[in-house]
A and B are shown apart, each in its own frame.
Chain A
């Protein structure tokens, strides 16, 4: 990490920030556009449940690129990354617990009256 950032043309803003090289920004931009095209085209193939997983994996890869390079996390203080990951962990916990819960009880639930088949 330190060796990496030492290679960067470090512009001294109070010794805290590094300007990301233009080449890196352009490559990340191209990768993001490519992944967008990929996620659209992979939808045309029916892979059943895997479609959602692939779409989410591509989205995570894109978000990772944005966070690491556009948001400077790769060159930044590690604690900022910790803040991001902790927030994502809590969202994952939230969603995971609620999906588990609803999976247990949904079958026993009656739909609301206005959703029932009208005679």
Chain B
């Protein structure tokens, strides 16, 4: 924010250093003027199109909340894609979940929550005018964000190595161009790669078309409702062989949803990191005080929203039972 050396009221400016309140509604402004020793007739942080610091703060905060509302709506579209796909193909989600590392996901959740805590602490430091505490908390928050992105990149790398990337780089996709076999990195994969023979498996609802040694399984020419051959629940860990054939390609769609949701979230983390760095540089320069900390507060709100979205992403993607 730039402050011009002229008075907003134009020609009728008070004497330099006089610190005369412009109106009865702006005692804060006058106090700030007296404190700073600046003589614009208003505090240096008050933009000219606002009457009072209260109005400026309230407007900024309302604007930020409305922006956060649009962010929720944007992510809502992706959550909707997730909900519809999981609703239609629950077995695909149960199978594909094994490719996600729960430990790393939980660690990342803890890291992001911690960085949200240090961000809330930073806002508190700014509100009570502790500059050193503010800078320290912001630095810790940045560290948390970098740690989150570091772990995320390790996870993405693992997905690349396991051929469960997006599009043609996903081994389950019909368009896959590589040489890997579906599910060869699967722990229970040795038997899953074999032809369908779920001997010790006891499905909750026995498939009437499962076939016996006497009457071999009839493969339908026209595909019935999805999940016909897929059991709805099982006693042991499910394998690729338990999935209906058409569901195997759908695993690739799960990874598209996973990468889109976590990717968009990751972009938000990167934007948040940039904003917090900007705030930290400004706080080192002493731009904020207990009278003016609006940018710290608003960037904090953004960072907490990013945290909130991850709080939903983590159980929905990593903790599918």
Give A contacts to B, CB under 8 Å. Answer: 11-20, 22, 25, 28-29, 32-33, 36, 39-40, 43, 46-48, 51-52, 55-56, 58-59, 62-63, 66-67, 69-72, 76-77, 79-80, 83-84, 86-88, 90-91, 94-95, 98-99, 102-103, 106-107, 110-111, 114-117
**Number of interface residues, chain B, beta carbon within 8 A:** 69
Q: Is A116 in contact with B246, judged by CB distance below 8 angstroms?
A: yes
Instruction: Name the A residues within 8 Å of B300 (CB-CB).
Output: 70-71
With contact pairs A20-B124, A69-B120, A114-B175 given, residues A36 and B110 touching in the complex (Cβ less than 8 Å): yes
B206 at the interface (CB under 8 A from A): no
Q: Is B321 in contact with A51, judged by CB distance below 8 angstroms?
A: yes
Pairs across A and B, CB under 8 Å, 13 listed: A15-B54, A17-B293, A28-B120, A36-B106, A43-B102, A52-B321, A66-B116, A83-B62, A83-B69, A87-B72, A98-B80, A103-B87, A107-B225
Instruction: Name the B residues within 8 Å of A56 (CB-CB).
Output: 312, 315-316
Q: Is B84 in contact with A99, judged by CB distance below 8 angstroms?
A: yes
Q: Is B88 in contact with A102, judged by CB distance below 8 angstroms?
A: yes
Question: Which of A33, A47, A69, A117 is B113 in contact with, Cβ under 8 Å?
Answer: A33
B99 at the interface (CB under 8 A from A): no
B223 at the interface (CB under 8 A from A): yes
Interface of A is mostly: helix
Contact with A along B265-307 (1 / 0, CB 8 A): 0000000000000000000000000111100010011001101
A12 to B57, CA, bound (A): 12
Q: Is B120 in contact with A59, judged by CB distance below 8 angstroms?
A: no
A91 to B80, CA, bound (A): 8
Question: Which of B69, B79, B120, B129 is A25 in contact with, Cβ under 8 Å?
Answer: B120
Q: Is B73 in contact with A90, judged by CB distance below 8 angstroms?
A: yes
Instruction: Name the B residues within 8 Å of A58 (CB-CB).
Output: 315
Distance from A60 Cβ to chain B, minimum over Cβ atoms (Å):
8
With contact pairs A59-B311, A63-B312, A70-B119 given, residues A19 and B128 touching in the complex (Cβ less than 8 Å): yes
Extra contacts besides A83-B68, A87-B76 (5): CB < 8 Å:
A19-B123, A33-B113, A59-B315, A71-B305, A77-B61
B226 at the interface (CB under 8 A from A): yes
Closest residue of B by beta carbon distance from A30: B117
A84 to B65, CA, bound (A): 7
Distance from B123 Cβ to chain A, minimum over Cβ atoms (Å):
8
Instruction: Name the B residues within 8 Å of A88 (CB-CB).
Output: 72
Give B contacts to A, CB under 8 Å. Answer: 28, 52-54, 56-58, 61-62, 65-66, 68-70, 72-73, 76-77, 79-80, 83-84, 87-88, 102, 106, 109-110, 113-114, 116-117, 119-121, 123-124, 127-129, 174-175, 219, 223, 225-226, 233, 245-246, 249-250, 290-293, 297, 300-301, 304-305, 307-308, 311-312, 314-316, 319, 321
Count chain B CB atoms within 10 A of each CB in A48, A77, A95 and give the residue with the most: A95
Closest residue of A by beta carbon distance from B72: A87
Distance from B120 Cβ to chain A, minimum over Cβ atoms (Å):
4
Count chain B CB atoms within 10 A of each CB in A13, A66, A69 and give the residue with the most: A13
Q: Is B225 in contact with A48, judged by CB distance below 8 angstroms?
A: no
Question: Which of B66, B88, B321 is A46 in contact with, Cβ under 8 Å?
Answer: B321
A70 to B311, CA, bound (A): 14
Question: Which of A29, A91, A117 is B76 in contact with, Cβ under 8 Å?
Answer: A91
Q: Is A71 in contact with B304, judged by CB distance below 8 angstroms?
A: yes
Question: Which of A32, A59, A67, A87 is B312 in contact with, Cβ under 8 Å?
Answer: A59
Q: Is B116 in contact with A70, judged by CB distance below 8 angstroms?
A: yes
Question: Which of A17, A95, A115 is B127 in contact with, Cβ under 8 Å?
Answer: A17
Question: Which of A28, A55, A111 is B226 in contact with, Cβ under 8 Å?
Answer: A111
Count chain B CB atoms within 10 A of each CB in A14, A36, A90, A103 and give the residue with the most: A14
Instruction: Name the A residues within 8 Å of B109 (CB-CB).
Output: 36
Instruction: Name the B residues within 8 Å of A86 (CB-CB).
Output: 69
